[in-house]
Amino acid sequence: MSMKPIRCIAIDDEPMALLVIEQFCRRKGGLEVETFSEPHVGLEAIRRTRPDLVFLDIRMDGISGLEIAQSLPPECCLIFTTAHAQYALEGFDLDAVDFLHKPFAYERFEVAVERAFRRIEARRTPVTAHLVVKQEYNNVSIPCDDILYVEALGNYVKIVRRSGGHVLTRTNLKTVTDLLPENRFLRIHRSYVVAVGAVESFTRSRVTLRGGVALPVGQQYAAVLLERLAQ
């Protein structure tokens, strides 16, 4: 894959588990990884360097990986690595790319990383001025300038237009978000992405768009929201 190196951080309180990830990253190629056996130190490194991909254990001394995941910058791809499969559902609820059940083989690691590569590449790829989605049996082209916000609705996504009305397409919010210009749209909640230029006012818990549309802000997105919109 012709991509610039993927910057990674791995957090696990078991040094042997970190060694395995380091070895697998070298074998895969295209991955630059820093490892941390102290979760709080690793989280600070994530906030400071904003890596592309995070490998994260769940059950660690002093803090749960699920807690750390809720504090990650929204643009970080996340792969959970844990021996406790019962956490898989919670992991995917946090928008994890994949869930590696320890001990995992290199082949399974490679599958997870390839999924992360595809998501990261989509974010880095220049996008056009239009978003093309399928509604029922038709392809619908929506000018990005006409998008007010995007909402996740179960197995569907609703794209609300500034000009009125909406388009309903069978996909997920992450897929649509990756197709939108990153500098013009912002994810504010696990269920909402908004057009930055349509924001009239905001707090840590709520965004108001043109037309008086008020949407909630998720706790894990608040810091990025304030940093981005306060510029």
Alpha helices in 29-99 (DSSP H): 39-49, 65-70, 88-93
Residue 76 in domain: yes
- Confidence category of residue 137, pLDDT binned at 50, 70, 90: confident
Does residue 110 belong to any structural domain of this protein? Answer: yes
Of the chain, the percentage scoring pLDDT greater than 90 comes to 61
CATH for 135: 2.40.50.1020
Among residues 17, 64, 20, the alpha carbon closest in space to that of 40 is found at 64
| Per-residue pLDDT tens digits for 149-163 | 999 999 999 999 999
Query: Is the domain of 94 the same as that of 20?
Result: yes
Residues 212, 166, single domain; the answer is yes
Lowest mean pLDDT among 67-71, 92-96, 133-137: 92-96
Asked whether residue 1 is domain-assigned, the answer is: no
Model pLDDT, residue 2 = 42
Degrees to nearest 5, angle at CA 136 with 132 and 142:
25
**Residue 44 lies in domain:** 6-124
Please state whether beta strands 6-11 and 31-36 pair in parallel, antiparallel, or not at all (unpaired).
parallel
- Cβ proximity of 139 and 132 under 8 Å: yes
145 and 215 belong to one structural domain: yes
Please report which confidence band the pLDDT of residue 89 belongs to, taking 50, 70 and 90 as the band edges: low
CA distances 88 to 17, 62, 81, 82, Å, are: 18, 20, 10, 9
Structure tokens at 10: 């791995």
Of 93, 108, 124, the residue that ends a domain is 124
pLDDT at 198: 93
Rg of the chain in Å (alpha carbons): 19
Same domain, 55 and 137: no
* pLDDT, greater one: 68 or 159: 159
d(CA 64, CA 58): 5
Tokens of 94: 């946090």
Contact between 216 and 192 (Cβ < 8 Å): yes
* pLDDT value, residue 1: 40
* Domain-terminating residue out of 124, 143, 166: 124
DSSP 219: G
Domain final position from 124, 156, 179: 124
pLDDT of 185 higher than 80? yes
Q: Is the pLDDT of residue 47 over 60?
A: yes
Say whether pLDDT at 195 is over 50: yes
The verdict on whether omega for the bond into residue 103 sits within 30 degrees of 0, i.e. cis, is yes
pLDDT at 192: 97
pLDDT of residue 85: 67
Residue 8 has pLDDT above 70, yes or no: yes
- As a whole number, the mean pLDDT across the chain is 88
Structural contact between residues 69 and 39, judged by C-beta atoms closer than 8 angstroms: no
Mean pLDDT of 212-230: 90
Q: Are 180 and 144 in contact (CB under 8 A)?
A: yes
The verdict on 99 and 23 lying in the same domain is: yes
In this structure, what token pair is assigned to residue 111?
A: 């599958």
Residue 137 covered by a domain? yes
Give the count of domains, the chain: 2
Partnered with residue 193 across adjacent β-strands are: 150, 187
222's enclosing H/E stretch is: helix 222-229
- Average pLDDT of 10-27? 96
What confidence tier does 104 reach under pLDDT thresholds 50, 70, 90?
very high
Same domain, 136 and 39: no
Same domain, 134 and 112: no
- Where does the pLDDT of residue 87 fall: very low under 50, low under 70, confident under 90, or very high at 90 and above? low
Rounded to two decimals, the pTM is 0.56
